Structure 1
């Protein structure tokens, strides 16, 4: 008789699971919450250095709650999905006033914490039974039970939540949640699953039916729309670059960025709005392509030297290009920082 799903998975985890992740030592609610937010749509290997820098600067909840939002975004730069950082900062302020929740419902009331994230925090931080269903878990369960309806369908979601609940044991909550996430991340992988190493392969219907490659089922996505924009590289004689803060919502929300216009023809209008004047002709400096979740940005980077004499009362910020390239004092979108590192000061 086949042992219970959870028993086999926990036995595998004891031998092969990940036990040395930085947020596991010590495994406090603050560190678990921070890691779970960072791990949303981001792989462990990418998150680790960001997590370590973050907790070095903000070692506890009070430090994060008291921080300036720009500094939080600065440390988040390059990790993407910046709404996570804004929600993290907001949630820290709420918890600093109200206390740290200990229930799934309590965590779910905080900005940026969905049902699965809330359950993962409760299981990992308090070792209490809570049912999780992140992307890795969905893939494991869809294959093990041969769920062959599109992942995006509401009925599929209900089915997967039920399967997750059935398989979640009453004890060892922290270990089980880490185990099933590890299984999806390291064995039941999207493109190259390692079925021979899987502890639940014996009754995995996808393996038995030869359908591992086709499960889970996803609806065919429409091609991403392409948005064409122009980024303005405005540099003065001192080698300083002019940046604008992006609106709090939307792409690169809250970050400092090269001014963005829709066409080159709007560039001079934007300069006039900031009280700036070109000292030379526009020059094509580079092209930038960056993929977001729902569209692709195709941007031409146009450069000009500008006169800064009349900008004291105007919106925007001036920063030395060298400072932005090495250890930026503000949060920058990763593609913009790459541009800055590539081109450096243009002055001669």
Structure 2
């Protein structure tokens, strides 16, 4: 067609009539996209597979109708106000809640078709937080949820999930636990039975393949065949080609965001962070968007990016159970960039709950703490939350 473009351009209207099946419609769209803009029209012969079938049946009028009733080709993604106004008139509704009320408040809930990322240093607690989210989504909300942890065996993930709903650390040998944290086989069995009874939880991935193409195929299968609506993927580093990290991250994160839109699902992607210039993340260093590996792409495609901060070396042992969840990117409204939610790990319930940091958490330092302090909580900050009820 390229060699005859100027000749084709002489005509005011070029009508394409392909086969009336799915393949014919697809190729009619492709061919029309190559024609001079505004001149392509697509017709379809009603009641027959193609023009030959219509002629063989003596139905020449069907071919004439296909020509005169052909519709002007418009590339996908182009709309007039009349195409959108009915949906635009609908009131905006809050999205799907998170397991943390404060997080629901600053994001207005989660929306299908969106990609969320969570970054943290090593052993800060991002897997524990998402495990709590998974339990909430599958059991409390009843949403079909897939868990793809590329660096953790599915059995361990299952035990951690059971621990979340029972408030017991089932993934730790019972004899190595303090007396008040020990659990019985009956407690483990009851929690596992409850998870088995739920139809809303499915696992995929166990070190067997960390190539994005393979993971994407799994997600497509889970969505189409199993009805999955929310995917938790841990973690980005496992997917990246280390020989060309930047290009690999940019390619994967773009495809992941587009996949969310195409399949109308939510993906929560866990990410490792680059080493910061100042205080290490493992000592409570503040998370910034630039700490995400491939930060340029991470800033462009996810709808929200969160950072989890915790001082695992705090001089007061109990204060090591406090962490800060920081919104480092708010694409939806922009008004909650930098918003923080302080969390406390409640050993008795095994849950992360929203709770203000202790007054002396940062000692005598008033400036440069790089974190959340009592007394300077903005008006939109959440109230103190209680243990998650599942």
Give the TM-score, by structure 2 length. Answer: 0.18
Greater share of helix: 1
TM-score calculated relative to the size of structure 1: 0.20
Larger Rg: 2
